Amino acid sequence: MTQPTPGPSTHDPLALTQMLVRMDTIPPAGVESQCIDPLSDLLSAAGFNCRHVEFAPGRKTLVARIGGRKDKAPLCFTGHVDVVPLGSAAWTHDPFGAQVVDGRLYGRGSSDMKSGVAAFTSAALDMADLAREGAGLTLIITAGEETGCDGAFHLARSPGAKEWVGSAGAMVVAEPTSNAPVLGHKGALWLKASARGKTAHGSMPHLGENAIYTLARAALALESHDFGVQPHPEMGMPTLVVSTVQGGININSVPDAAEMTLDIRSVAGLGHAGVLKCLCDRLGERISFSTLLDIEAVYTPGSDPWMQRVQALVDAAGDRPASSGIVSYFTDAAALRPLMGMPPTVILGPGEPGQAHQTDEYCLVGKIPQAKALYIDLIRDWCAPSA
């Protein structure tokens, strides 16, 4: 696919959103480098130091940095440019056409979350001079978020990443919130639980050990599992669901293996290592676990001074929602916050949360320049010279 040539029009967040949406970045064929390379060119031309981290051919994450002071860590913006498949239903609008119809920009990734990436990139370009002389900016634009934050975790595990990515004083995740500041999201711990038995002929079950019975007892025990925590003020209680079960090879044999998958949604303060230990202790040695996905909860209380400052800037801008709370999806912040010193983090982006992964996905056009203006306010507030 021919990449658009970066030019002055791409500094407009709407035009930049359209450029990104027109690129098919549905993995594995639609690689993220189509978006990363032109964004890197724009940022490099504005003075950002850009570094690419590839976890598979064409599957790049971009780290772009500018400025910084010894007494204050940079402000970080992050977002992803991979998108999910189109689904089986027919689209009314070209999913890669980026058409604007009746105030809506249609296309896969328009809300989730190329509009957010475009808005903060455009804001960073406009504010590059201030950031260079001030506290600085770090942009992390990732690949592979939709499949479990693959690009962000790969970046976090890269040799020396803590040194060359650097710390952040605060983080903005531009996922879709309709420009309302959100305090965080639940964590996701997906596990495979396996039971082993001994096979035997179905007519002689006493000679075998039925793995399905062992697994079934474990599943029933989990139905009433108590995490031993009080409800979180924003996230409520953690949850556990037995999602799939399978076992056995044929009808006339005692099954010697069975497995189930668990979808656990954790709350802030409930570490996944402790959750897994608790499950192991409860179910015993006959059940073994393997981890399929491990994304910790992200949460910054509204009482945090920077979060209060974000809310004040949103309120001052007017005509924007002033809600907080949490979102149901997870984000790259779960991988990036530990790498960058656990900064306070707000989820704040122009996309419509209900449009994520939908057929005929769209973003409201007016939300995109609104997001850019808000990001500029955040950058100016963060990077202003010290009194």
pLDDT of residue 319: 67
In a domain, 1, yes or no: no
Q: Are strands 187-196 and 239-247 parallel, antiparallel or unpaired?
A: unpaired
Of the residues 32, 145, 146, 294, which is catalytic? 146
For residue 303 the two structure tokens come to 């009482």
Q: Which residues contact 65 (CB under 8 A, 6 or more apart)?
A: 48, 49, 74, 136, 137, 138, 139, 166
Residue 2 lies in a domain: no
172, β-bridge pairs:
77, 346
Confidence (pLDDT) at 323: 64
| Residue 374 and residue 313 in contact, taking contact as beta carbons nearer than 8 Å | yes
pLDDT given at position 3: 45
CB 348, CB 181: distance < 8 Å: yes
The answer to pTM > 0.85 is yes
Query: Do residue 101 and residue 111 come from a single domain?
Result: yes
* Predicted confidence (pLDDT) per residue in 72-125, tens digit: 999 999 999 999 999 999 999 999 999 999 999 999 999 999 999 999 999 999
Q: From CA 293, how far away is CA 386, in angstroms rounded?
A: 42
Domain count, the chain: 2
Do residues 213 and 257 touch, judged by C-beta distance below 8 A?
Answer: no
Q: Is residue 3 part of a domain?
A: no
pLDDT band at 322 (very low <50, low <70, confident <90, very high): low
Quick one: 191 and 333 in the same domain? no
pLDDT at position 316 over 50? yes
146 among known catalytic residues = yes
Question: Hey, what amino acid is at 372?
Answer: K
C-alpha span between 278 and 225 (Å, rounded): 10
**Mean pLDDT of the 120-131 span:** 96
What sections of 158-237 are H helices per DSSP?
Answer: 161-165, 211-222
Domain that holds residue 49: 8-185+297-383
DSSP H/E element including 380: helix 367-383
pLDDT value at residue 325: 86
CATH code of the domain covering residue 151: 3.40.630.10
Torsion region of 288: left, alpha or beta (phi above 0 gives left; psi -120 to 50 gives alpha): beta
For residues 238 and 118, state if they share a domain.
no
Q: Among 268, 295, 322, identify where a domain stops.
A: 295
Are 65 and 46 part of one and the same domain? yes
**Are 32 and 168 in the same domain?**
yes
What is the CATH classification number for the domain harbouring 280?
A: 3.30.70.360
- For residue 318, the model assigns a pLDDT of 78
Task: Establish whether 263 is a catalytic residue.
Answer: no
- For the chain, what is the mean pLDDT? 94
Catalytic residue among 82, 145, 175, 256: 82
